[in-house]
Structure 1
Amino acid sequence: MVENVIWPAYFDAALSRRDGRRVPMELAVEEPSIDEIATAVQQVGYDAVVERDVAYPRRHWDAAGRVLVKDADDAKNTLVQAVAAYVGALRD
C-alpha cells in the first residue's frame, strides 16, 4: 500500500518554496487547513486520512497536521497540483 503525505505547508501562500511550499503562487492559498486538503483529496478521487497532531519537519514548532493519501496512482507532484486546484476552488 502506497501512502502519500500531504502537508498544509505545500499550499501555504505565506511560505516560500525554500520553506516548503510546493505549488506555484497562483495555486497557493493563505493558511490552508487539513480539512480543506482532505476534502480536496476526496474530490480528486482518493481516500484521505487526517492526522491532526503532527508537524511538518521544516516547521516542527507548528503542529498543523497532515493528510495521508491512500493508494494514489498519480505521481506525488501531480497529486499535489490537483489538490491545490481543488483547495482554491473550495475557497471561491
Structure 2
Amino acid sequence: MVENVLYPAYFDATLSRADGRRVPEALAVDDPDVDEVAKAVQQVGYDVIVERDKQYSREGHRDRGRVLVKNPDGDAKNDIVQAAAAYVNALRE
C-alpha cells in the first residue's frame, strides 16, 4: 500500500508554486489547516492519518501538520491533491 503525504501548504493561496503550493490559485484557499485537508481527502474516498506535530520543509517555522493518505490503488499523488483541493474549496463556501 502506498502512503502519500499532503501538507496544508499545497492548498494555500498565499503561497507561490515555488513556496510549495501545488494547486492552481483558483482551487487554493487562504491558510488551510490540517483538519480541512484531512476532511477533504476523506470525502474523496481515502483513509487518512493526521500528524499535527509535523512541518513542511519549506515552512520550517510553522507546525501546520500533515495528512498521510492511505492509497491502496497507487493513484497518482497529483490526482489526490487536485481532487482534495476541490473539496477544500467547497468546504469554505
Q: Same fold (TM over 0.5)?
A: yes
TM superposition score category, shorter chain reference: over 0.9
Unaligned runs of 5+ in 1: none
Q: TM-score, normalised by structure 1?
A: 0.96
2:86 paired with 1:82: no
Identity %: 67
User: Residues 40-60 of structure 1: CA distance to partner in whole angstroms, max 9, x if unpaired?
Assistant: 111000001100001101111
Unaligned runs of 5+ in 2: none
1:13 alignment partner AA: A
User: Residues 3-33 of structure 1: CA distance to partner in whole angstroms, max 9, x if unpaired?
Assistant: 0000000000000000000000000000101
Q: TM-score, normalised by structure 2?
A: 0.95
The CA RMSD measured in Å over matched residues stands at 0.8
Q: Is contact 1:6–1:68 with CA below 8 Å preserved after alignment?
A: yes
Q: Is contact 1:7–1:65 with CA below 8 Å preserved after alignment?
A: yes
Q: Is contact 1:4–1:72 with CA below 8 Å preserved after alignment?
A: no
Runs of 4+ in 1 over 2 A off after TM superposition: none
Distance 1:3 1:24, change over 3 A: same
